[in-house]
């Protein structure tokens, strides 16, 4: 298993694609509110996929694949979030101007070329996630650039598009979708194909695209509102699209694993070639159910009791290869199994795996004999409902044939550990065509000028602004990435407290307190600002911030003012201080008589016990010296 990969050497190329839901009032092509319903669906409708031919009359490979699967789609309807447009019974309305303007902001931020008119296009979707059989998309900017930290990444296309229906259940034959999600506007930002970068660089790029999008303040937050996809290839490999990478860090893993996977599949290809494997050696799957008639295996008994079939086929020259790891925890055999699973069976069983647990060694030997298995071969069996078994066997056989020549171009779904599983073949390029039901949207010079006025600050500009306030680049960067960015901006905007002090409280003190187990998340933006306003008004001392934050975390129902009074953290005036000092001096007059001026040092500790955090230590020292002198105990005035 290759671990340290030289990404330059293997010719790693990838692209990053970010989809983010926009916080608009309505959906992109109808008047329904753009939100996920919190209520139960009021009904469902069922549809089957129509085989839609592209403009050239060609049926896409991916569409044909879906057609073969012959699935039924069920759509949940919601009272307020679904209308006739969503179920494809009414033509779409003109595109939502609010969504277009938000995406226009982003396009301008990335200095993209803006077309004079926005034309809505149709992109074929064949997984049932859109009732119309296509997703509508419109290009708002071309040839943009994402700039951050002296780096520039080419952004060929910035588009606004409609969100797909949300998947609720998938039992193989029937997929259920919810229609409230369908049509919520998304911004789609994708990089061009990037070369000479490491998988880690992709995390940084995705992060900065995410930051940029959030900076508009017009995006939905929360689980599922942002989706990250990557496409990956290496020299001698092929384009593989990985959909739905959940977190930023997983982007690195997903690219790393995909590079490993393609490297390993190249090795499989070379090995098959050197063994003399060729297409003529592949044979059709055969019904081997009869061989298992008297099987003692629980697994087989169950299959036969349900009147299911077992089919087998021999993979000539594949012996041992199904054991090969493609990436951590994933063998070639496991990958092949996913092609069978996609056809509605449980998976495959093969002679490269340890079959002792299945208790069917004798039967497997007979299957091998029946199929003419030779030493260098691998024999595969698939069990399940008759028609599905044949489809599953053929899917695995086709995948194995491809293994002789190339790594298949396909769409893979990201797992939570960064590995991926087969989802469907990659659709061809013939899948974009014009949407004639929707008039073009004109982008006037006026609109561009108006939008330009509101475009948010870029990451680079923000960093520059923070550095000018006296923060280091590192600290500025840390704040921008942190959850306290809004707090910091609030404090800087609304108080005269120094940026350095605010940054140190937000980045250091808060972290330390969290480590100590203080529930600092209870200090919301309002309370944080309140604390800094009290600091500015000198109602609390800088030294007391730690205690104030602890107190506010502990008593979230109280106001900051109540908390600091309760904890005795309010500052005291010089007059109050003087009274305390006089009291201490009187009580220690003998000490002063004895130690003279050096008594100040001793008494300082005593006074500070009473006033720590409530007034500046220098003031305490100064007044203490004055009062010690006035006591006449140190000598004549």
Q: Judged by CB, which is closer to Zn ion: 92, or 144?
A: 92
Sign of CA dihedral 247, 248, 251, 256: negative
Beta bridge partners, 159, equal 139, 188
Restricting to residues 14-73, name those near Zn ion by CB under 5 A: 30, 32
Which of 30/389 has CB closer to Zn ion?
Answer: 30
Q: Which of 87, 78, 81 is nearest to 184 (CA)?
A: 81
Query: Cα torsion for 586, 591, 593, 595, to the nearest 10°?
Result: -140
Cα distance from N-terminal residue to C-terminal residue, the chain: 87
Which of residues 131 and 553 has its CB atom nearest to Zn ion in the complex?
Answer: 131
Burial of 335-365, coded b for 16+ CB within 10 Å and e otherwise, reads bbbbbbbbbbbebbbbbbbeeeebebeebbe
Determine the interface stretch with Zn ion among 84-92, 93-101, 376-384, 546-554 (rule: CB under 5 A).
84-92
Report the alpha-carbon distance of residue 71 to residue 205 in Å, rounded. Answer: 37
Would you say 417 and 329 are in contact if contact means Cβ atoms under 8 Å apart?
A: yes
Residues that bind Zn ion (rule: CB under 5 A) add up to a total of 5
Burial 121-150 (b: 16+ CB within 10 A, else e): bbbbbbbbbbbbbbbbbbbbbeebebbbee
CB of 132 to Zn ion, least distance (A): 12
Residue range at the interface with Zn ion (CB under 5 A); choices 85-93, 156-164, 474-482, 512-520: 85-93
- Taking the complex as a whole, the smallest distance from the CB of residue 82 to Zn ion amounts, in Å, to 6
Would you say 153 or 179 has its CB closer to Zn ion?
Answer: 179
Residue 467 CA to residue 340 CA, distance in Å, equals 56
Residue 86 or 627 with smaller CB distance to Zn ion: 86
Q: Would you give the distance in Å from CA 312 to the centre of its chain? A: 41
Find the shortest distance in angstroms from Cβ 318 to Zn ion.
Answer: 51
Nearer to Zn ion, 85 or 463 (CB): 85
Query: CB of residue 43 vs Zn ion: minimum separation in angstroms?
Result: 15
CB of 331 to Zn ion, least distance (A): 46
Q: Looking only at residues 363 through 422 of this chain, which bind Zn ion when binding is defined by CB under 5 A?
A: none
Which pair of tokens denotes residue 487? 């707090």
Q: Return the number of the residue (77 or 531) whose C-beta is nearest Zn ion.
A: 77
Shortest distance (Å) from residue 84 CB to Zn ion:
7
- The yes or no reply on residue 86 touching Zn ion (CB under 5 A) is yes
Distance CA 323, CA 325 (A): 6
Contacts of 474 (CB under 8 A, 6+ apart): none
From 191, 56, 52, select the one nearest 123 (Cα to Cα). 52
Task: Please tell me the number of Cα atoms within 13 Å of 500 on its side-chain side.
Answer: 4
Q: Which is nearer to Zn ion, 35 or 330 (CB)?
A: 35
585-614 burial string, b = 16+ CB within 10 Å, else e? beebeebbeebeeebbeebbebbbeebebb
Binding segment toward Zn ion, per CB under 5 A, in 80-88, 141-149, 194-202, 597-605 = 80-88
Question: Which one, 83 or 628, has the nearer CB to Zn ion?
Answer: 83
Taking Cα atoms as reference points, which of 377, 396, 273 lies closest to residue 315?
377
Question: In the block, which residue shows the tokens 């384009």?
Answer: 239
Q: How far is the CB of 221 from Zn ion (least distance, A)?
A: 23
Please tell me the distance from the alpha carbon of residue 166 to that of residue 183, in angstroms, as a whole number: 11
Contact 272, 380 (CB under 8 A): no
Stretch that binds Zn ion, among 81-89, 329-337, 402-410, 419-427 (CB under 5 A): 81-89
Would you say 28 or 212 has its CB closer to Zn ion? 28
* Tokens read off for 400: 């194995």
* Cα 345 to Cα 449: distance, rounded to the nearest angstrom: 57
CB closer to Zn ion out of 32 and 189 = 32
The tokens 């997903």 sit on which residue? 254
Interface residue with Zn ion, options 18, 83, 315, 340 (CB under 5 A): 83
Q: How many CB atoms lie within 10 A of CB 324?
A: 18
Neighbours of 430 (CB within 10 A): 16
Residue with smaller CB distance to Zn ion, 23 or 83: 83
- Cα torsion through 76, 221, 141, 456, rounded to 10: 150
Q: Least distance in Å: CB of 74 to Zn ion?
A: 18
Give the shortest CB-29-to-Zn ion separation in angstroms. 8
Site string for Zn ion, 110-149 (x = CB under 5 A): ----------------------------------------
When the beta carbons of 163 and 252 are compared against Zn ion, the nearer one is: 163
Q: How far is the CB of 230 from Zn ion (least distance, A)?
A: 31
Closest contact distance (angstroms) between CB of 174 and Zn ion is: 24
Q: Determine, following the binding rule CB under 5 A, whether residue 241 of this chain makes contact with Zn ion.
A: no
Window contacting Zn ion (CB under 5 A); options: 72-80, 83-91, 221-229, 448-456: 83-91
CA-to-CA distance for 16 and 192, rounded, in angstroms? 8
Using the contact rule CB under 5 A, the part of the chain among 82-90, 136-144, 152-160, 345-353 near Zn ion is 82-90
- Tell me the closest approach of the beta carbon of residue 244 to Zn ion, in angstroms: 25
The distance of closest approach from Cβ of residue 85 to Zn ion in the complex, given in angstroms and rounded to an integer, is: 5
Q: Is residue 232 within 8 Å of 251, Cβ to Cβ?
A: no
In three-state secondary structure terms, 125 is coil
- Tell me if 234 contacts Zn ion by CB under 5 A: no
Nearest residue (CB) to Zn ion, 75 versus 318: 75
Report, in Å, the least distance between residue 80 CB and Zn ion: 9
Which range in 76-84, 296-304, 315-323, 428-436 contacts Zn ion by CB under 5 A? 76-84
**Where does this chain bind Zn ion (CB under 5 A)?**
30, 32, 83, 85-86
């Amino acid at each position: 298993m290759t671990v340290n990969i030289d990404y330059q050497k293997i010719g790693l190329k990838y692209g990053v694609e970010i989809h983010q839901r926009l916080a608009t009032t309505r959906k992109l092509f109808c008047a329904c509110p753009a939100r996920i319903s919190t209520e139960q669906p009021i009904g469902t409708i069922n549809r089957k996929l129509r085989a839609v031919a592209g403009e050239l009359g060609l049926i896409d490979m991916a569409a044909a694949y879906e057609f073969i699967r012959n699935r039924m789609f069920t759509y949940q309807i919601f009272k307020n979030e679904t209308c006739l447009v969503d179920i494809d019974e009414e033509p779409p309305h003109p595109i939502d101007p609010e969504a277009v303007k938000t995406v226009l902001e982003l396009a301008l931020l990335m200095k993209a070329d803006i077309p004079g008119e926005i034309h809505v296009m149709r992109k074929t979707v064949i997984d049932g996630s859109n009732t119309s059989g296509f997703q509508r998309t419109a290009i708002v900017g071309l040839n943009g650039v994402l700039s951050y930290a002296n780096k520039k990444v080419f952004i060929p296309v910035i588009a606004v598009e409609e969100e797909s229906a949300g998947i609720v259940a998938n039992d193989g034959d029937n997929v259920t979708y919810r229609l409230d999600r369908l049509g919520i506007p998304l911004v789609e930002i994708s990089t061009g194909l990037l070369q000479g970068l490491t998988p880690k660089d992709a995390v940084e790029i995705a992060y900065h695209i995410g930051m940029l999008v959030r900076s508009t303040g017009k995006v939905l937050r929360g689980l599922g509102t942002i989706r990250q996809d990557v496409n990956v290839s290496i020299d001698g490999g092929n384009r593989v699209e990985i959909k739905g990478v959940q977190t930023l860090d997983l982007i690195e893993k997903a690219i790393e694993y995909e590079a490993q996977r393609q490297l390993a599949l190249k090795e499989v290809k070379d090995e098959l070639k050197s063994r003399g494997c060729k297409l003529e050696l592949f044979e059709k799957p055969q019904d081997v159910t009869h061989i298992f008639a008297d099987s003692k295996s629980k697994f087989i008994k169950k299959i036969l009791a349900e009147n299911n079939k077992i089919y087998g086929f021999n993979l000539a020259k594949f012996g041992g290869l199904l054991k090969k790891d493609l990436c951590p925890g994933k063998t070639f055999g496991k990958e092949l199994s996913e092609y069978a699973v996609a056809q509605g069976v449980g998976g495959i069983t093969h002679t490269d795996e340890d079959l002792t647990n299945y208790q069917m060694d004798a039967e497997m030997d007979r299957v091998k004999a029946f199929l003419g298995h030779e030493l260098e071969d691998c024999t595969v069996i698939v069990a399940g409902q008759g028609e599905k078994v044949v489809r599953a066997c053929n899917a695995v056989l086709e995948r194995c044939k491809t293994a002789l020549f190339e790594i298949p171009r396909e769409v893979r779904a990201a797992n939570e550990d960064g590995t991926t599983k087969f989802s469907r073949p990659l659709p061809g390029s013939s899948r974009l065509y014009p949407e004639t039901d929707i008039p073009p949207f004109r982008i006037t010079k006026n609109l561009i000028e108006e939008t330009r006025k509101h475009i948010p600050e870029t990451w680079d500009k923000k960093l520059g602004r923070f550095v000018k306030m006296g923060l280091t680049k590192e600290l500025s960067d840390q704040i921008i990435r942190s959850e306290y960015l809004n707090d910091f901006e609030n404090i800087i905007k609304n108080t005269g407290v120094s940026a350095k002090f605010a940054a140190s409280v937000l980045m250091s003190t808060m972290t330390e307190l969290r480590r100590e187990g203080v529930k600092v998340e209870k200090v919301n933006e309002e309370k944080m600002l309140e604390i800094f306003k009290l600091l500015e008004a000198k109602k609390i001392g800088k030294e007391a911030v730690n205690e104030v934050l602890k107190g506010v975390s502990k008593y979230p129902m109280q106001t900051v003012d109540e908390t600091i009074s309760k904890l005795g953290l309010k500052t005291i005036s010089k007059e109050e201080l003087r009274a305390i000092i006089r009291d201490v001096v009187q009580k220690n007059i003998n000490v002063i008589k004895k130690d003279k001026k050096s008594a100040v040092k001793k008494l300082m500790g005593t006074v500070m016990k009473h006033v720590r955090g409530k007034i500046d230590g220098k003031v305490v020292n100064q007044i203490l010296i004055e009062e010690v002198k006035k006591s006449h105990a140190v000598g004549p005035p």
